[in-house]
Each structure stands twice: as C-alpha cells, then as structure tokens.
C-alpha cells in the first residue's frame, strides 16, 4: 500500500475531489488517511469494497465493544449524561439492538408517511421561495441562508410534528452544530445541544399526555412485539432524525443548485422533462456526493482487504464519494449526466444502516428544484464554484453560503 498522503479536507479537494479519489483508488482498495479530529483511519476507496464493508455488518461493526474495545464509539466518561444518551443512537448500534430500534421507528415512519408530506413540502417550498425573493438585494441573494438551510429544518420539524412557531428558536440552537469545524466550534455546539435536548424532552412529555399528528407522537405510541421505546431511546431517536435529516439535505440541495447551474445543457434537458427530476437528484447524489463518508466501522476480527491486513479493533470509514466515481461501477463517472440510468450510487449507504430518510430527502429536493427553477428561469451563480465558501469539515461536501442572481 502506498504511503502517499491524501488531503480530504482542503478547499481544493472540496472544489474538485475527483483527482484525489483517482489517486486513492490507484493506491489501493483501502488506504490509510489522517483526518483532522479523528486521527488515522482506513478508507475503503472502491465501489466493490465500500459496498462489501457496509453490507458485512458482522465483520465491520458500529459498536467498538464488539471489536474488543472498552468504550462506546465517541462516548467518553467525562461527557455529560445528555451527550452520552444522544450518541447511543440507532446508527451507533449493532444487531440485535439496531434491528429492534429500526423496526420501531420504521413502523412510526409508515404512520407519518412521506406521501402525506408531499403537499406540506410544496407549501413550505413556496413560502420559502417568497422569502428568498424578498431577501434579494439587487437581484442577488444567499440561497443557502434563505432557502437550502431553512427548508430541510422546516420539513423535518413538520414531519416530527413540532409547531412552526418553534422553528426559529430551534434553528438558532442547531446553527452552531452545522459549523463544527474546530474544537471551539464543538464547544459552542454543546450549548445548543442542551437546549434542543430540553426542548425535545418537554415535547415528548407533552406528546405522552396529548398525542398530536406527526412522527414524535407516533414514536411515543409505537409498539412492536410488546416492545416500545423508553425515554432515553426516544430522545436519542428524535435527535438523530433531526440532525441526520437536516444538515445532509442542506448540502444536497446546495450541491444540486451549483451542479445544475454549472451544466446549463443538462439543466435544459431537465427543464424539458421535469417528470425525470428523480433521476437528476440521484445523479447529484452520485456526482456531488454531499456526504462523502459513513460513520466509522470497527473490524471485529483481523481482516484482509486487497492484500492489506486491517487489525481487529482498527476503524474504517468507507469513502462513499470515491465509490460513486469508480469507473469499475459507472461509465464515464466524472461526467454529470442528468438522466443517468442505471445509477446505483451509494450516497445513502448500504446494508442494515442504509438511510432511513432517503425517500423524504429525495422527495423534498425534487420538489424544491422543480419549483425553484420554474419560478426563477434565469437563475445563475453570482460566484464561480472555485470562489465559493467551502466547508472544510472532513466527510461533508458543502458550502457555507451560495450567492445567486435571481434574474
């Protein structure tokens, strides 16, 4: 294996990650990378190995205690109890605990179905577009701040059944969490997490007393084989849904706007047939890959990948974004083809932890793009991609702001 260093958090990488992914795959199906905050990790780089690692949940586990380690992933003795509870969510669990929690939340999801969310999402997009238009100064407006960021928060709050009037408070608490790019940012985010925690706790108690429409009440009431969620599980589930469902979708929506505006001929094809917008969103998920890696998996035994031995207890972070541009899986992978079919991208993960909210996220972004580009047919980037304010957080590809011209 090559000892080459790979930089996956610089601005240059965020602007154009393809050359780095090419070099990584050439170096091996798994490479060793040093990440800020996280330290040294193994990264599977090819489509084949990203898929295999994510599907083999017995060899590659979420809970490090199942790989011979002493503590839960990311959970430390000095952390406040609230944080320890939140970190022990379903995404951090192995079977059978994960299956039990996922079964319960899937049942609740069916009750608060995505199809029922379609009209509320259209209404939320329309009102957010009115706001975007009002905020424009000389025709220029930050589409992240006034559209791509508030919309997914509004949608997930609506789905959970949280009142609209609580949203701005909520957004203020959640904002520091989206900016965790340094240790200082992490501590600032702590305060917001305490507030969200108290708010959700109170709302869950209210849902117990007076059930209301939405996923939170459905989660309180759900029962399967005599099992239900206890208070701590409920809280960490609500927290997971809120944060997994927010930040990810912001970057997908921004990524879609940048990518479509940079490929006017592809945008024209889409304008010619909005019924295929689902294919366009899949292609942005593949080509832009807003979530570039999954959570770490721990090797539960010594395991060999492409001639490299990963010792038991070491962790791996599968590089979804590199798998998504692997020529072994996609023709002409560095080309954006708005109607690409088939498109078996891995942007929502694979295996037992595959994204629970993918249908919601896709529906929301499909509606948002169709309405945005129809209302503003002359939309254009006010700054080229290279000059945008790219986030440097490893694993996420997104911008802090996205100035556009509405006409």
First to last CA, the chain: 51
Write out the binding residues for ligand HEM, residues 334-373 only, by CB under 6 A.
Answer: 347-349, 353, 355-357, 360-361
296/333 with CB nearer ligand HEM: 296
295/383 with CB nearer ligand HEM: 295
Residue with tokens 């809120």: 242
Yes or no: say if 132 and 145 are a contact pair by the CB < 8 Å rule: no
CB of 118 to ligand HEM, least distance (A): 14
121/141 with CB nearer ligand HEM: 121
Yes or no: say if 371 and 98 are a contact pair by the CB < 8 Å rule: no
d(Cα 200, Cα 33) in Å, to the nearest integer? 37
CB of 20 to ligand HEM, least distance (A): 20
CB of 364 to ligand HEM, least distance (A): 7
d(Cα 29, Cα 46) in Å, to the nearest integer? 5
28/290 with CB nearer ligand HEM: 290
Question: What binding mask, one character per residue, do residues 96-115 give for ligand HEM by CB under 6 A, x or -?
Answer: ------x-------------
Q: Is 44 helix (H, G, I), strand (E, B) or coil?
A: strand
DSSP H or E run through 308? strand 308-310
Which residues make Cβ contacts (< 8 Å) with residue 325, sequence separation at least 6?
18, 21, 286, 287, 289, 333, 334
**Interaction between residue 252 and ligand HEM (CB under 6 A):** yes
CB of 140 to ligand HEM, least distance (A): 26
173/348 with CB nearer ligand HEM: 348
Binding residue (CB under 6 A) for ligand HEM from 157, 193, 235, 240? 240
CB of 287 to ligand HEM, least distance (A): 13
**Interaction between residue 257 and ligand HEM (CB under 6 A):** no
Residue with tokens 């309180």: 220
Q: How far is CA 243 from CA 13, 65, 170, 177, 246, in A?
A: 25, 25, 12, 9, 5
Binding residue (CB under 6 A) for ligand HEM from 290, 333, 394, 398? 290
**Interaction between residue 61 and ligand HEM (CB under 6 A):** no
Q: How do strand 60-61 and strand 308-310 relate by DSSP bridges?
A: unpaired
Window contacting ligand HEM (CB under 6 A); options: 120-128, 196-204, 286-294, 325-333 = 286-294
* φ and ψ at residue 62, rounded to 5 degrees: -90, -35
Burial 247-265 (b: 16+ CB within 10 A, else e): bbbbbbbbbbbbbbbebee
**Interaction between residue 248 and ligand HEM (CB under 6 A):** yes
Structure tokens at 168: 């701005």
266/294 with CB nearer ligand HEM: 294
Binding residue (CB under 6 A) for ligand HEM from 90, 218, 257, 367? 90
**Interaction between residue 394 and ligand HEM (CB under 6 A):** no
Q: Count of residues binding ligand HEM (CB under 6 A)?
A: 24
Yes or no: say if 95 and 57 are a contact pair by the CB < 8 Å rule: yes
Q: Which residues lie near ligand HEM (CB under 6 A)? A: 90-91, 102, 156, 240-241, 244-245, 248-249, 252, 290-291, 294-295, 347-349, 353, 355-357, 360-361
């Amino acid at each position: 294996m090559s000892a080459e260093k790979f930089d996956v958090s610089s601005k240059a990488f965020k602007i154009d990650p393809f050359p780095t992914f090419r070099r990584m795959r050439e170096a091996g199906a798994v490479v060793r990378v040093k990440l800020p905050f996280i330290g040294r990790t193994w990264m599977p780089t090819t489509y084949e190995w990203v898929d295999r690692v994510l599907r083999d949940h017995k060899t590659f586990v979420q809970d490090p205690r199942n790989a011979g380690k002493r503590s839960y992933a990311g959970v430390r003795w000095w952390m406040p109890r609230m944080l320890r509870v939140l970190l022990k969510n379903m995404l951090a669990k192995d079977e059978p605990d994960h299956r039990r929690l996922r079964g319960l939340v899937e049942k609740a999801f069916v009750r608060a179905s995505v199809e029922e969310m379609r009209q509320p999402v259209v209404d939320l997009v329309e009102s957010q577009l009115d706001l975007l238009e009002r905020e424009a100064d000389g025709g220029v407006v930050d589409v992240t701040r006034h559209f791509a960021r508030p919309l997914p928060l509004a949608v997930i709050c609506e789905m959970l059944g949280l009142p609209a009037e609580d949203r701005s408070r909520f957004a203020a608490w959640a904002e520091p969490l989206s900016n965790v790019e340094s240790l200082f940012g992490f501590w600032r985010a702590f305060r917001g997490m305490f507030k969200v925690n108290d708010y959700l706790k109170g709302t869950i108690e209210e849902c117990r007393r007076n059930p209301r429409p939405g996923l939170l009440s459905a989660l309180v009431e759900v029962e399967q084989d005599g099992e239900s969620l206890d208070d701590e599980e409920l809280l960490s589930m609500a927290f997971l849904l809120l944060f997994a469902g927010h930040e990810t979708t912001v970057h997908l929506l921004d990524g879609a706007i940048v990518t479509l505006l940079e490929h006017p001929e592809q945008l024209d094809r889409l304008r010619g047939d909005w019924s295929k917008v689902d294919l366009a969103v899949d292609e942005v998920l593949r080509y832009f890959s807003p979530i570039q890696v999954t959570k770490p998996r721990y090797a539960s035994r010594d395991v060999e990948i492409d001639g490299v031995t990963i010792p038991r207890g070491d962790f791996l972070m599968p590089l979804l974004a590199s798998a998504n541009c692997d020529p072994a899986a996609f023709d002409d992978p560095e080309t954006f083809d708005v109607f690409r079919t088939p498109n078996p991208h891995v942007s929502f993960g694979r295996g037992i932890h595959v994204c629970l909210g993918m249908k919601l996220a896709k529906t929301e972004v499909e509606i948002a793009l169709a309405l945005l580009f129809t209302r503003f047919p002359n939309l254009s980037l006010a700054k080229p991609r290279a000059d945008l304010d790219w986030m440097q957080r490893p694993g996420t590809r997104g911008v802090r702001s996205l100035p556009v011209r509405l006409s």
